[in-house]
Chains A and B, each alone.
Chain A
Amino acid sequence: MTPLASETREAARLREMFTQAGAVPVECSILQPADTLLDLYGEDIRGRAYVTSDALRGEQMLRPDFTVPVVQMHMEHGAEPARYTYAGPVFRRQEDDATRASEYAQVGYEVFDGSNLAAADAEVFALIAEALDGAPLRAATGDIGILKAAVGALNTTGRRKAALMRHIWRPRRFRALIDRFAGRTPVPPARAALLAAADPFADCAPMIGLRTRREIAARINALHEDAAAPPIPENEVALIDTILSVRETLPYALERLRDIAVDMPVIAPAVEQLAARMAALRARGVDVDGLDFEASYGRTNMEYYDGFVFGFYAETRPDLPPVATGGRYDALTRVLGQGDAIPAVGGVIRPGLLLELGRQA
């Protein structure tokens, strides 16, 4: 059997497993309208997905994953609660690493069920873990909801919190913003000069382009307000740093986060959500005492995942991408539903990688 044929067969086997578990099998088009994906992910998606076009429909993308079309399908036709499974090829543009596959099978399991979030999280994780049973994999978990709760709890302006929330998934920019809002980095000279200017538009070049003078003035106002606002207190910055540094097995991580919640009570509900998830995982037979938890896990590559996040990695093959990943993506459904969020959690497996590991073992 060719590698592609065995990958397809393995994908079908996994999808059948998820179907047996109660999911409805669904199909999605390979060609997806580009504007939805571009609107969600911005220019970065062009670096990751194949874009093609014709004169009639304009830009189309070869689906980089199933999540967006499955959410759209559910929002149009589905009723809650719902469980879906799918299998098929996805396409990823590779620009730097020729060893990474540009076409591979993905099998997924997605749950739209708001009745018990912790139970739904645990259900997805446990099913994926079961499907991967026997492969030499290490699981990593995280929870972006805790960081979001901490940012929301900061004693600072709404504008600063919105800026930090916007960059939750871009750690470098997030860090630069924190440092600036905490007064740790000096005000750049150009900014200082702008704020000191009696008339910032004196000797100004001619206005060109769509961004208006009024928009520029509005931002200058915002900068003045920001300059007048007190810095984020050092102890709160330290709490954010402490949260981001939590990296333990799940029960110890929970204990650390509960300690932090004493000083930052606003994150307590998010921490208790983690506790409920841990209990639900244990009830499903997952060895939570040996399960790794990293508070910053998933921040660089799982945009719109805003709660529970997880990945399964080949311990003997650090060169391989994760064999399975998933998490809660209520934020994605909120954007796609134009404000109407649906509680959603899911995960995907790459059967090709699973087979590759099986061949080695």
Chain B
Amino acid sequence: MTIKLGVPSKGRLMEKTFDWFGTRGIVLSRSGSDREYAGAVEGIDGVELVLLSAGEIPRELAAGRIHLGVTGTDLVREKLGGWEQKVEELAGLGFGHADLVIAVPAAWVDVDTLDDLDAAAAAFRAAHGFRLRIATKYHRLVREFLRDHGVADYQLVDSQGATEGTVKNETAEAVADITSTGDTLRANHLKVLSDGLVLQSEATLFRARGAGVTDGEREVLAGLSRQLALD
């Protein structure tokens, strides 16, 4: 009879999640050595800490293998089709703010809006014989966003890291990536389109709608939400 709480297993996201729960009287900690992904929970009974990569938490929530999980809204929306049926947003945690944006080379002085990007993409395809490439790891979110805004003649190319460098390396003409301050984009001579904000993301506590709970577990959940002042 335990409620499984999935939390990112390393870095600032983990520390800030621990802080957020700590100020609400629930002390989360990583037990044992730094390399071991086991955790401990104090301050409430019946809750088990599961340390996972932030990118795997949406999948575990959707499968109902964890009852609660902390991850970014961007990852949940990218990875889960029909996400609202699978998880419920319980609370924004006030950190991990990041914007998913469309950015193009700052030297493209003629491109400021999605409308410009669409026109540039049409001309690019005619000149180069292939569709303008946008590097991203957020394929679904970006595709839906561009479709809703009627942008055509582009293609997405997968980039799981160092996305800002793809334009300089000539493996993409534009990028769709997460940024918090825009510094990395600027340092790579990229600029954000004025209407290129795809999604504003924040670290969020989610509940899995499909995770089965016993009566005892339901009580633990109720106690937890009282303690976290979620009601």
B171 to chain A, nearest CB (A): 10
Please choose the segment from B12-20, B51-59, B104-112, B223-231 that sits at the chain A interface, where 4 or more of its residues have CB less than 8 A away: B104-112
The 8 Å CB contact of A47, one of B109, B143, B188, is B143
B→A interface (CB under 8 Å): 81-82, 85, 105-110, 112-113, 115-116, 118-120, 122-124, 127-128, 131-132, 139-140, 143-144, 146-156, 167-168, 170, 172-173, 188-189, 191, 194
Which residues of B sit under 8 angstroms from A46, Cβ to Cβ?
139, 143, 156
Instruction: Known A42-B154, A167-B152, A206-B107; judge A211-B173 contact (CB<8 A).
Output: yes
Instruction: Known A47-B147, A206-B189; judge A211-B108 contact (CB<8 A).
Output: yes
Q: How many residues of A contact B (CB 8 A)?
A: 41
Which residues of A sit under 8 angstroms from B150, Cβ to Cβ?
167, 170, 172-174, 176
List 3 A-B pairs, minimum CB-CB distance, nearest first.
Answer: A173-B150, A205-B106, A190-B112
Contact bitstring A154-192, B, C-beta under 8 A = 1, else 0: 000000000100110010111010001000000010110
Is A101 in the interface zone, CB < 8 Å from B?
Answer: no
Is A194 in the interface zone, CB < 8 Å from B?
Answer: yes
Chain A CB count within 10 A is highest, among B108, B120, B132, for B108
The chain B residue sitting closest to A173, CB to CB, is: B150
Chain B CB count within 10 A is highest, among A174, A176, A209, A213, for A209
Which residues of A sit under 8 angstroms from B194, Cβ to Cβ?
188, 190
Query: How far does the alpha carbon of A55 sit from the alpha carbon of B80 in the complex, in Å?
Result: 28
Decide if B146 touches A43 in the complex (CB within 8 Å).
yes
Number of A-B contacts (CB under 8 A): 114
A99 to chain B, nearest CB (A): 10
Query: How far does the alpha carbon of A84 sit from the alpha carbon of B150 in the complex, in Å?
Result: 34
Question: Could you jot down 13 A-B contacts, CB within 8 Å?
Answer: A42-B131, A44-B147, A46-B143, A95-B140, A166-B152, A172-B148, A204-B107, A205-B107, A208-B168, A209-B105, A210-B128, A211-B105, A216-B109
Is A200 in the interface zone, CB < 8 Å from B?
Answer: yes
Decide if B189 touches A208 in the complex (CB within 8 Å).
yes
Decide if B113 touches A190 in the complex (CB within 8 Å).
yes
Query: How far does the alpha carbon of A167 sit from the alpha carbon of B121 in the complex, in Å?
Result: 13
Which residues of B sit under 8 angstroms from A42, Cβ to Cβ?
131, 152-155
B85 to chain A, nearest CB (A): 8
A350 to chain B, nearest CB (A): 22
Which residues of B sit under 8 angstroms from A194, Cβ to Cβ?
109-110, 112
Decide if A191 touches B123 in the complex (CB within 8 Å).
no
The 8 Å CB contact of A216, one of B108, B131, B143, B149, is B108
Query: How far does the alpha carbon of A180 sit from the alpha carbon of B132 in the complex, in Å?
Result: 24
Instruction: Known A205-B189, A208-B167, A219-B120; judge A43-B105 contact (CB<8 A).
Output: no
Query: How far does the alpha carbon of A194 sit from the alpha carbon of B113 in the complex, in Å?
Result: 13
Which residues of A sit under 8 angstroms from B140, Cβ to Cβ?
47, 95
Decide if A215 touches B107 in the complex (CB within 8 Å).
no
Decide if A211 touches B124 in the complex (CB within 8 Å).
yes
